Chain A
Amino acid sequence: MAVVSANSTVMNNVEAVRATLYEALKSDDRTLIIGEDVGARGNVFLITKDFIDEFGPRRIIDTPIAEASIVGIAVGMAMEGLRPIAEIQFADFIYPSFNQIVGEAAKTRYRSNGEYTCPMVIRTPYGGGVRGALSHSVCIEALFYHVPGLKIVAPAFPADVKGLLNAAIDDPDPVLFLEHKKTYRLIKGEVPEGHYTIPLGKANVLKEGKQLSVVSYGLYVHWALEAARTLEAEGFSVEVIDLRSIRPMDKTAILTSVEKTRRLLVIHEDNKFGGIGAEISAMVAEEALFHLDAPIRRLCGPDVPAMGYALPLEEEFMSSPAEMAGAMRELIAF
């Protein structure tokens, strides 16, 4: 980790998650990590490497391969006063724990009328572009963002990873923390030192522009930014918003931008049908229709079960920066 200035360090996203988890374990002994291969192996991406040596197997818990109970046991720990951070090794393996997340963690406070709470984080790597095939590349956010009681975060930059993971760990309610695995080592950035949080539900305007608002999250934020710069070189002005949080979502940031640019393009990797973009589009149609000069557009994953392993299948599924630039040009020209 190169030190750029006295107050910040350059890290990739893996290092940012790791550093934040480390500090959380250091500062609060109610915090523990529970998941598959988080101990001696240090997680499959080495995020928890060596943690077991420092914090011991009671706090870095290598579980049996049983995702429903990884989450369910964390729920029980949280109800009993601990602050567990559960890990699902790949988001593709989260399905067996669906009930524990949706039916239990998200409803504990509600069903007990506030008597019991469930302050816990579920971290999981998601997303494609890494030759992960059908079961190591899915996006899962749309399956969960329908659920009141749950919060969902999907940061793109190391500094946001730290601030949002700290906020998630401090949060009194369950948070699903999604880490795009292609950004893990690809994306580097300066991360401020010391403890700080970024509020859940606050988007970030990454680039200001006048002609078009582009809303995205995760890996595609980086590619949308690249495409927006291409358009800038061509003389267009594109605003890029990184949602960072999916639930809650920053309505003000989206509406303020759309009312200024009068055009909206939502880009995400998850399928279009019933995806996050559908909710954003509906909200903008309900609240800002007469500010729009063009139809809302969505550039999203196709309606297929998942991306295939073969490179052409993966590439066909993913949207490239060039495709994003194309969609931007089209919408500006409308």
Chain B
Amino acid sequence: MASTDVATGKLERHGLTDEQLRAIFRNMLLQRQLDNRGFQLNRQGKVPFALGSEGHEALQAGAAMAFNRGVDVLAPYYRDLGLCLGIGLTPYEIMLSIFARAADHNGGRQFPNHYSSKAAGLMSFSSILAAHLPHAVGAAYAIKYRGETERAVLATCGDGTTSEGEWHESMNFAAVHKLPFVMLVENNEWAISTPLAKQMAEPQIWKRAAGYGMPGRRFNGFDPIETYAAVKEAMDRARSGGGPALVEGTCYRYLAHSTDDNDMTYRTHEAVAERRKQDPVPAFEAVLLEHGVMSAADVTAMRKSVLDETNEATDAAEAQPYPAPADLYAHIYEGAWQPWQS
């Protein structure tokens, strides 16, 4: 992990306090715990679908630290559990989404992982890849138009999604108008079964930034501190009128795409096991222990509190009612509605 300054042996913390470092680590543990819970509930037959972000924990926990809560806007995609936790969503809100309960922000309408919360600045998005990026750019335009200089939009997507036309359209417009917009690509090398090499001839996605006339940067997404530094630099620039940026974090997708995918049809146990050796969760734990940010006892206590919180959230959300069948007909337009007007 690149977080240790080789010359001094000190932790390269980019201004992060011990408390923030522990918050990042806790977010990483919580992601993994909630991911596991989704898969467990699926195997128990309690929920039809789950999708995990294992391998993205460091990237998302680090990036979320660079987000100003209550100020910035997040336009995420479906593999952003850690980002959503990091900007303030609670495990209970996550579980309401997993269980599709009426109290869920989306009223149980959307797939799990499609979180939205106006209060948190989390834009509603669909499952249609890249369709949220023009929305993020439109929100950035609104922010700039109103002269709100302390705000920026952080948008995310996977490596595969960068092939979509709307990815290009969004980058181009954001650059033309110098918008407060940061495009964070979570490059996990896979798009369901399609590897990077079939997705693009130039695998260094960040290099495209030059073509749009904006700064670009690649960072190690297994290192939450390096991630934080890269995303913060881009967000600070965007907030202060310096325009958009493309930041690409490298990571890996340890799990199958979702509970509906069998990744052993297109990659091997050995290949995944090899990448598991770099697992960012134990790696960051080791860094925190080594530099005395946490003790082994602290880590044990944190793991227990994360498990307790997950259990409580699971039970509380499960006890909530489903939406009523009549809810199918609400919120199509403002007010009651029929296509035929009388």
Contact = CB atoms under 8 A, between A and B. Distances in A.
Given A80-B139, A172-B334, A248 B126 contact: no
A82 B142 contact: yes
B118 interface: yes
B331 interface: yes
A107 B116 CA distance: 14
A72 B134 contact: yes
A69 B132 CA distance: 10
Nearest to B118: A115
B315 interface: no
A320 interface: no
A248 B173 contact: no
B176 to A, nearest CB: 7
A218 interface: no
A103 interface: yes
Contacts of B176: 64
Contact of B172 (A66, A72, A96, A249): A66
Interface string A53-79: 000001000011010110111111111
A64 to B, nearest CB: 6
Given A69-B173, A72-B134, A76-B139, A116 B338 contact: no
A96 B131 CA distance: 12
13 contacts: A58-B145, A64-B169, A64-B172, A69-B169, A71-B134, A73-B135, A77-B142, A80-B138, A104-B126, A111-B106, A115-B118, A116-B118, A252-B341
Interface residues of B, number: 47
Contacts of A248: 337-341
Nearest to A58: B145
B169 A66 contact: yes
A251 B139 contact: no
B138 A111 contact: no
B333 A173 contact: yes
The 10 closest A-B pairs by CB, nearest first: A76-B138, A72-B134, A201-B341, A76-B135, A113-B107, A69-B169, A112-B124, A251-B340, A80-B142, A248-B341
A327 B225 CA distance: 75
Contacts of A99: 128, 131
B331 A75 contact: no
Contacts of A100: 131, 134
A238 interface: no
Nearest to A62: B176
Interface in B105-124: 105-107, 109-110, 114, 116-118, 123-124
